[in-house]
Chains A and B, each alone.
Chain A
Amino acid sequence: MIRIAGVFFLLVGLYAALISSNPNAAGRSNLFEVANTQGFYGIITLGAALLIVTGGIDLSIGSVIGLGSVLFGILMLEGVPPPVAMLLTVGGGAGIGLAHGLLVTRLKLQAFLVTLCGLFVYRGLARSLTSNSIGLDRIKKTQPDFAATLDGMRYWLTGEDPTKGLVFPGEFVLLLGLAVIAGLFLHKTVYGRYWYAIGYNDRAAAYSGIDVNRHRVVTFVVCSSLAALGGALWLLSYSDANPDSAGQSYELYAITGAVLGGCSLRGGEGTAVGIVLGAMVLPVLNNLLIFLKVRDTYMPIVIGLTLLFGTLIDEFFRRRGRAAR
């Protein structure tokens, strides 16, 4: 509970500041907009966090998002129906995760190194698939039959309606659904228990008869699949995917969210609620800074300092918690 307190109060503060900054910022449509971005961040953060709980790391998330978004678009341009294209994209992500997992567990390579290589490889693959951005308009024009399905998927997954705009924060709803599943897995099932054990002390886990390698591979697969799903969502929500910039640096946002939410990079710690809260910080902060008219030049400074402040609150609550024990 204590590990969540810091990020919780940080979020409360940020929302209070946002709501008082500008009447339009407090409006339904802006809050929905922020929630949607949070949903997106949250989905990739979930994957990163599950991996971090077992003591792993994935630096290729951003590139997998980029590759996923482009792949999803190209498959549809080539005539693959949108739902199938989405499944193939997520499946491709799973394949990437499987490769990461096998390289890490069989060849005993470091996850940091393997996924860092992935960061370059998948970005390059995305660029080799197309040099231009792929937009939903172009897909609809090339495959007019898909227009209705595509609009439907867009509505249900991102809440975006072709005429009414953002009707509900679909990606946030999706995140909540995925987070509930992740939470049940982490806190209620045997697998979650094993993941924590592996993250804390993988040798003790192995001596307890747990197939550590298999579980590690599974978390890599989950992480990359969610990143690829993020890629598909990217195209649906932004209506446009650029092979170069789609998803760039998002691995850092995902890791930041996970750590803010109470995951330890040493492994073994983290809760589903914390992960969701942690992922919610950056989008609301970004939105707030735009409304506060903070000059672009100073934005990175303000973001860095706010995150530092968040960890200080966290530390404060933890010390109080320890003193009370």
Chain B
Amino acid sequence: MRLGLVIAIAVGLACVPACGSSSTKPKVAMVTNCTAEFWSICEAGAKKAAREQDVDLDFRQPKTLDVAVQREVIDAVTRTGVAGIAVSVVNPDEQSEHLKRIATRQPLIAVDNDAPASDRKYYVGIDNYEAGKAVGRLIKAQLPQGGTVALFIGGTASANAKARVGGVLDELAGQKDAKGPKYGNYTLHNGEPYTDSTDEAKAQQNAKAVIESLKGAPNVGLVGLYAYNPKQILLAYRSKRSEVQHPMKIFGFDEDWTTLEGVEKGEIEGTVVQNPFLYGYNSIKILATIAKGGTVPDDQIKGLTVIPYRVITRDGGPAEEVNGIKVENLKAAEFGKQLRADIDSVAK
């Protein structure tokens, strides 16, 4: 019986490669750091580029935000033979060794979270520190007299998480490498961000407990720094709204649909978004070009890899240049419509 099971599994696994397509198109791959709506948008962009470039695409969203899990997925994908791979690295410090070996076999691009020590060819993404500062500016604009802020994030180990948190706090403090517990006129609740290991239920429980413990306090800002955090903060706040004495302000990061609707309705003050669609689109465009034997002209590289962050508020505003980055200030309603159109254009 036991032997039979083993054989069945072995046969099943043996079939897997055979089930893949047998086309002769070059294949490129992209591995995200976890599964999220954010990465589904990225996937849409990647698919669009793959179609335009006429390459096969293996797009993988690992189950959890975990170095080991991601490493397994990367190994599995590269073993099937790809002409290039783009990775949103979970933890650059730990993974550079491994990624170096990957980079010797096929071109490697870091997306969303840079890993400079990994021999990656390019980094496609925003400057997370600058984006964090943009969240800080939103907070300062909404709570000008100071107050208490609570930060919520999946984990604080990854480089982009560190940069985002650092950007927010430095902007509030008005200096670089600021140390707490007071950051300018703002107090960081609990002295450190609340983490949830990307468990969304935990994220909501964290938010509820924080709202509960601050329900009598004035000038409270709740800041969600991973894509699902603003959504879970909003859901928690809706449930606790009748308890709270002074309205709390919510600030977000990324473009979860619930977040965008919250901004549109005024429940969330604003969200700083990356451009996952362009992450996917540009990464695959670069990889496809290399896979087909071409090179990306130097004058185009900057435009393809440096993706400006964007600030989404209910009412939007004129574009501006901050620290050398061209920042668009978009209206939530219009931004959402455009995003939906981008996704639909690929889905069909």
Q: A residues near B, CB below 8 A?
A: 22, 24-25, 27, 29-30, 33, 37, 107-109, 123, 127, 131-133, 135, 137-138, 160, 163-166, 234, 238-240, 242-246, 248, 286-287, 290-291, 293, 295-296
Are B191 and A293 neighbours in the complex by a CB distance under 8 Å? yes
Known: A245-B64, A293-B191, A295-B192. 4 other contacts (CB 8 A): A24-B216, A133-B200, A246-B201, A248-B199
B212–A238 touching, CB < 8 Å: no
| Interchain CB contact (< 8 A) of A25 among B191, B194, B205, B212 | B212
Q: Are B200 and A245 in contact (CB under 8 A)?
A: yes
When distances are taken between beta carbons in the complex, the residues of chain A under 8 Å from B198 are 245
Query: Are A290's CB and B204's CB within 8 A?
Result: no
Which 4 pairs across A and B sit closest by C-beta, in order of nearness?
Answer: A290-B209, A30-B212, A296-B195, A244-B35
Contact of A239 among B192, B199, B210, B235 (CB under 8 A): B235
User: Complex: how many Å from CA A138 to CA B200?
Assistant: 17
Given the known inter-chain contacts A293-B190, A295-B192, please indicate yes or no for A137 contacting B258, CB distance below 8 A: yes
The answer on a CB contact under 8 Å between A163 and B213 is no
Q: Is the CB of B241 within 8 A of A165?
A: yes
Taking CB as reference atom, which chain B residue is nearest A37? Answer: B205
Say yes or no: B213 contacts A29, CB within 8 Å.
Answer: no
Complex: A291 Cα to B189 Cα, angstroms: 11
Residues in B lying within 8 Å of A, measured CB to CB:
1, 34-35, 37, 40, 61, 63-64, 190-192, 194-195, 198-201, 204-206, 208-210, 212-216, 228, 231-232, 235, 238-243, 257-258, 261
| Nearest CB in chain A to that of B189: its residue | A293
- Measured in the bound complex, the distance between the Cα atoms of B205 and A181 in whole Å is 29
* Contact across chains for B228 and A133 when beta carbons are under 8 A apart: yes
Question: Residue of A at shortest CB range from B62?
Answer: A244
Which residues of chain A are near B204, meaning CB under 8 Å?
Answer: 238, 240
| A242 touching B209 in the complex, CB below 8 Å, given contacts A133-B37, A133-B228, A164-B242 | no
Instruction: Please tell me if the beta carbons of A165 and B192 are within 8 angstroms of each other in the complex.
Output: no
B-side binding surface: helix, strand, loop or mixed?
helix
Contact check, A240 vs B191: say whether CB atoms are below 8 A apart: no
Partner of A240, one of B195, B199, B212, B258: B258
What are the residues of chain A within 8 A of B240 when measuring CB–CB?
29, 165-166
Partner of B212, one of A33, A37, A137, A295: A33
Contacting pair B210 A290 (CB below 8 A): yes
Chain B, residue nearest A113 (CB): B5
Taken together as a complex, chains A and B put the C-alpha atoms of A133 and B198 apart, in Å, by 13
A291: chain B residues at CB < 8 Å are 209, 213
5 residue pairs A–B, Cβ–Cβ below 8 Å: A131-B40, A132-B40, A135-B231, A165-B238, A240-B204
B-chain residues with CB within 8 Å of residue A24 when the two chains form the complex: 212-216
Bound Cα distance from A165 to B240, whole angstroms = 5
> Chain A nearest CB: distance from B38 CB in Å?
10
Smallest Cβ distance from B166 to chain A, in angstroms? 18
When distances are taken between beta carbons in the complex, the residues of chain B under 8 Å from A131 are 35, 37, 40, 61
Q: Is the CB of A290 within 8 A of B192?
A: no
The reply to whether A165 and B242 contact each other, CB–CB distance below 8 Å, is yes
Distance between Cα atoms of A29 and B61 in the complex (Å) = 38
Of the listed residues B190, B199, B210, B239, the one surrounded by the most CB atoms of chain A closer than 10 A to its CB is B239
What A residues does B257 contact at CB under 8 A?
138
Contacts of A135 on B, CB cut-off 8 Å?
231, 235, 258
CB of B213 within 8 A of CB of A240, answer no
Q: Would B212 and A29 count as touching, CB distance under 8 A?
A: yes
Find chain A residues with CB under 8 A from B191 CB.
293
Report B-chain residues with C-beta under 8 Å of the C-beta of A296.
192, 194-195
A107–B1 CB distance below 8 A:
yes
Task: Please give the distance in Å from A268's CB to the nearest CB on chain B.
Answer: 27
- CB <8 Å contact, A242 and B228: yes
- B37 surroundings in chain A (CB, below 8 A): 131-133
**A33 pairs with B35, CB closer than 8 A:** no
| Shortest CB distance B51–A (Å) | 19
Q: Please indicate the chain B residues that have their CB under 8 angstroms from the CB of A239 in the complex.
A: 235, 238
Shortest beta-carbon distance from A197 to chain B in Å = 27
Who on chain B is nearest to A239 by CB? B235
Instruction: Contact check, A25 vs B213: say whether CB atoms are below 8 A apart.
Output: yes
Contact A286 B228 (CB under 8 A): no
Contact A290 B200 (CB under 8 A): no
Q: A29-B240, A291-B209 are in contact. Are A240 and B200 (CB under 8 A)?
A: yes
